[in-house]
Amino acid sequence: MAINVKLMKRPERDVSYLRASLKGMAITFRHLVAPKWTMQYPEQKSTDDYTISQRWRGTHRMLTDEQGRAKCVACGLCPQICPANCIKLVPGEDEEGHRYPLIYEIDEFRCVFCGYCQEVCPEEAIHVGVHYENSEYQRGRFVYDLERLCAQTHPVSTLWDPSDPRGE
């Protein structure tokens, strides 16, 4: 040997190459006919064994009140806490002194889906959602504006609850 091969001490008896090979073949054949684990994704999104966690943090969703207005009061906490600095908020105020967001945009590309915005929001307005199908044809479409955030309908994340750490 040109290269140094580390010499292993192999057992001299009780080694059966033939039997080992045949055993291997038998094992693979058993797997060949065994039931498969594959989930047929686009048609099938959850199985008995696998469902997406309720604590999944996906793209955002803005909850609305009875009149269909965003619950957000433009307090500015979420842009403040956002570690990725991806929330753009321009507050506005109507004649009765109610604050509302003039512009509210989340850049889902920069977002790290930490869920802090949901945790910090005093109005429980902004939420991360249990949702993962986000394909778009253009990069620009990943900046979700207020209208889009309000229009999302997927379930919202329950986040992590310290009193129920395993989500039971």
Partner 1 sequence: MTPELKGYLLVSVIKLVVVFFTLLVGVAFVTWLERRVAAWIQNRLGPNRVGPQGLLQPMADGLKNFVKEETLPAQADKTLFLLAPGLAFVPSLVLFAVIPFAAPFPLSFDFSLPLLGQFAYAGPMPMIVADVSIGLLFILAVSSLAVYGIVIAGWASGNKYSFLGGLRSCAQMISYEIALGMSIVTVLILTGSVGLTHVVAYQQQTVWFVFSLTLGFVLFAISALAENNRLPFDLPEAEAELVGGYHTEYSSMRFAMFFLAEYGALITMSALMATLFFGGWDIPFTAWDQGEPSVLKSLATLVVFVGKTFFFVFWYIWVRWTLPRFRYDQLMGLGWKIMLPVALAYIMLIATAVWAFDALGLADGALYGLALFGVNLVALFIVFRVLDSGRLIGQQYVRREGSA
Using CB under 6 A as the criterion, what x/- string covers residues 39-78 for binding ligand SF4? ---------------------------------xxxxxxx
Q: Does 144 bind ligand SF4 (CB under 6 A)?
A: no
Q: How many residues bind partner 1 (CB under 8 A)?
A: 30
Query: Which of 33, 165 has the CB closer to partner 1?
Result: 33
Q: Does 111 bind ligand SF4 (CB under 6 A)?
A: yes
Q: Does 117 bind ligand SF4 (CB under 6 A)?
A: yes
Q: Please calculate the CA angle 156-157-163 and round it to the nearest 5 degrees.
A: 135
The option from ligand SF4, partner 1, none interacting with 78 (CB < 5 to 8 A, set by class) reads: ligand SF4
DSSP string for the chain: --S--PPP---SSS--HHHHHHHHHHHHHHHHHSPP----TTT----SS----TT---SEEE-B-TTS-B-----SHHHHH-TT--EEEEEEE-TTS-EEEEEEEEETTT-----HHHHH-TTS-EEEBS------SSGGGGEE-HHHHHH--SPBP----TTSTT--
CB of 139: closest distance to partner 1 in angstroms? Answer: 25
Which position among 34, 95, 96, 162 is part of the footprint of partner 1 (CB under 8 A)?
Answer: 34
Which position among 18, 94, 138, 165 is part of the footprint of partner 1 (CB under 8 A)?
Answer: 18
Residues at the interface with partner 1 (CB under 8 A): 1, 5, 7-19, 21, 24-25, 27-29, 31-38, 40
